[in-house]
Amino acid sequence: MGTYIIKRLLLIIPTLFLILLINFIVVQIAPGGPVEQAIQQAESIPGLKGGGETVSVATDTHYQGARGLTPEMVDKIKAQYGFDKSAPERFWIMLKGYLTLDFGTSFFKDKPVTQLLYEKMPVTVSLGLWSTLLIYLVSIPLGIRKAKQHGLLFDKSTSMLLAVGYAVPTFVFGVVLIVFFAGGSYFQWFPLQGLVSDNFQSLGMWAKIKDYFWHMALPLVTMLLGGFAGLTYLTKYAFMEELNKQYVLAARSKGLSENRVLYGHVFRNAMLIVIAGLPEALVGIFFVGNLFIEIIFNLDGIGLLGFEAITQRDYPVIFGTLFLFTLLGLVLRLISDVLYQIIDPRINFESRGAK
**171-212 confidence digits (pLDDT tens):** 788 888 888 887 766 777 887 777 777 777 788 888 888 888
d(CA 168, CA 86): 46
d(CA 24, CA 318): 10
- pLDDT band at 223; cut points 50, 70, 90: confident
What's the pLDDT tens digit per position in 341-352? 776 666 666 655
Q: State residue 51's pLDDT score.
A: 44
Do residues 113 and 105 lie in contact, with contact meaning Cβ atoms separated by under 8 Å?
yes
Please report the pLDDT score of residue 249 as a whole number: 81
Closest CA to 232 of 127, 148, 129, 141: 141
**Residue 75 pLDDT grade (very low, low, confident, very high; cuts 50, 70, 90):** low
Q: Is 40 helix (H, G, I), strand (E, B) or coil?
A: helix
pLDDT of residue 8: 81
Helices 315-343 and 267-276: crossing angle in degrees, nearest 10, is 160
pLDDT on residue 44: 61
Whether the per-residue pLDDT at 280 is higher than 70: the answer is no
* Predicted local distance difference test score (pLDDT) of residue 147: 86
Tell me, what's the pLDDT at 68? 56
Q: Is the pLDDT of residue 141 over 70?
A: yes
Using an 8 Å Cβ cutoff, are 118 and 128 in contact? no
Assign a CATH topology to domain 113-343. Answer: MetI-like fold (1.10.3720)
What CA–CA distance (Å, rounded) separates 260 from 189? 44
Taking the complete model, does pTM exceed 0.75, yes or no? no
Mean pLDDT across 253-273: 78
State the pLDDT at residue 76. Answer: 67
> Do residues 127 and 282 touch, judged by C-beta distance below 8 A?
no
Beta-bridged to residue 178, according to DSSP, are: none
Give start-end residues of each CATH 1.10.3720.10 domain in the chain: 113-343
pLDDT in tens, 19-72: 888 888 877 776 666 666 666 666 565 554 554 443 433 334 444 444 456 677
Arithmetic mean of pLDDT over the chain: 76
User: What pLDDT does residue 163 have?
Assistant: 86
Lowest-confidence pick of 31-35, 233-237, 253-257, 270-274: 31-35
| 132 contacts: CB under 8 Å, gap ≥ 6 | 281, 282, 285
Q: What is the pLDDT of residues 91-126, one digit of tens each?
A: 888 888 888 888 888 877 888 888 888 888 888 888
Q: Would you give the DSSP letter of residue 65?
A: G
Can you give the pLDDT at residue 55? 40
CB-based burial, 84-113: b 16+ in 10 Å, e otherwise: eeeeeebbeebeebbeeeebbbbbebeebb
